[in-house]
Amino acid sequence: MNFNNPSTGISSLENTTYQASFKIKKKLPEGQSLAILGSIPEMGNWKQVRCQMRWTEGDVWVTEKPVVTHKYYLTYKYAIVSNRETIISWERGINRIADFAILPPLTAGATSYESTPTKKVELKDEWEVYFIFLSVLNPNEAGTDEICVQENETAGPRFTEHWMEKKLTDVDWIKLKYGKDVKPWFELIKIKNE
């Protein structure tokens, strides 16, 4: 099964087991830790702290154990907790989105568990920062075009202008999106999530 190709259909995506590990850097005072809450039962359905994180060298927090689910799409957010269950504060901004169907697998191949395909993924986040990944294809381009992404000035200064880069990629969803191997324009924009 090709995990990067959503054309396999929703039913096969939901019949896959996803093992997701999360990583984020955050300095916290002693007695506080991080947890992840989200839109699935394994993450407490936004109501209960079920997904604890542990501190590692360099103030990098990692999930104590992978989040195992059959849901290929979920929303989540980090929270600062005390006593491993009392929420002190939430990460500011919009909820994060994890789409396991398009994330690259952590390992080259899938493992099998009770005849159900398993996909392992790792999400490396930054505190109160989110990323927007853009791809644009101009099928009639002459090869000399340039594309620049600029912020909407009325929204306030969030990022500077970004010149998109044109390159080949081996991501299967790009081929699915455009119907063939193409060389689209790419840009990854990092925005403070406030």
Task: List, for residues 5-23, the tens digit of each pLDDT value.
Answer: 444 445 566 688 999 999 9
DSSP string, 51-118: EEEEEETTTEEEESS-EEES-SEEEEEEEEEETTTEEEEEPPSSPEEEETTTSPPSSSS-EEETTEEE
Fold of 6-126: Immunoglobulin-like (2.60.40)
Structural domain boundaries in the chain: 6-126, 130-192
pLDDT of 58 higher than 60: yes
- Residue 87: the pLDDT is 95
Looking from the CA of 103 toward its CB, the CA atoms found within 13 Å total 22
In the structure, what pLDDT confidence band is assigned to residue 156 with cuts at 50, 70 and 90? Answer: low
Judged against a pLDDT cut of 60, whether residue 100 lies above it is answered with yes
The answer to whether the CB of 194 falls within 8 A of the CB of 127 is no
pLDDT band at 164 (very low <50, low <70, confident <90, very high): low
Task: Tell me what pLDDT residue 39 has.
Answer: 97
